[in-house]
Amino acid sequence: MTGRLPPLAALRAFEAAARHSSFTRAAAELAMTQAAVSYQIRILEERVGSPLFLRRPRQVVLTETGQALALAATDAFRKIGEAYETARTGSQGTLSITTIPTFAANWLALHLGAFQMEHPRIAVRIETSDVLVDLARDNYDVAIRSGTTGHWPGLDSHFLFRETFSPMLSPALAASIGGVREPADLLRLPIIGSSDDWWRIWFGLVGVDAAEDLAGRPDSRFGSQSYEGRAAVAGLGVGILTPGMFVQELASGSLIQPFDILGDDGQSYWLAYEADRRNVAKIRSFREWLLPNFAAP
């Protein structure tokens, strides 16, 4: 078996260059010079017998052979890393989670302590992004994503909850116009994110023609529901928000939801991970803890 393996130094340099699509960034990660990375990759290409990269100005692109080898190399190094971490610390290592900012701030951060109490030997790393990341390439164990079907190539996914939405505002802002008694009253107040399609959908559900009013307003947006919720709590305007992400604010009264009518654009939250890693202990532990939190009563 050993005779069939390429030089590991060459394979490591190749895997880093493939992941970054750059010899320069691979060199920085591995504390090598760019020339050393290039040399190691040439050694590997000689062993393989064909080019692994197409060299272009300021960019390198994997060939078809390179793509196949890169997938296997990244997976192999990650598995070695996990096994090493377990052997070194006697724990299940670090669970890396990628999710959108609102879910991280308004749900995960509030509940994750319960998971860590149940699994004290698993460390947790959370990264937030609105960009759909590649779990294998970017070294994440699980993702919590928003999507319509939960179907992503190569991933297993589990439904968590529907991403419904409804207007919410501070009690003080509502009181400033003598209370919000009907949907049209909301148009007498500042609207956060007036160009958001959720407003159009929600006002359509309640039979209010708000298109012209909304189009004429300044479009103040904060980049995520989490920030828009904070702005709504501060009384800066009415936000269009997902009730399940603001349970504490609604319970404490810092936000009110004046109408029970919920909009729905077909989006839901999903737990996702690579299908061939479903039985990795830390992923299984997180899945078995998370899903019951969203099970229908």
Domain boundaries, the chain: 2-87, 91-161+267-294, 166-252
- Across residues 128-139, what is the average pLDDT? 84
CA 113 – CA 116 distance, rounded (Å): 5
Q: Is 2-87 a domain of CATH 3.40.50.970?
A: no
Architecture of domain 91-161+267-294: 3-Layer(aba) Sandwich (3.40)
Contact 93, 123 (CB under 8 A): yes
Mean pLDDT of 174-198: 96
91-161+267-294 and 166-252 in the same fold: yes
Share of the chain above pLDDT 90, in %: 72
Highest mean pLDDT among 7-16, 37-46, 94-103, 168-177: 168-177
Fold type of domain 166-252: D-Maltodextrin-Binding Protein; domain 2 (3.40.190)
Q: What is the pLDDT of residues 64-96, one digit of tens each?
A: 999 999 988 988 888 787 777 666 655 567 899
pTM: 0.72
CA-CA-CA-CA torsion for 136, 138, 139, 140, nearest 10 degrees? -90
H/E element, 239: strand 239-241
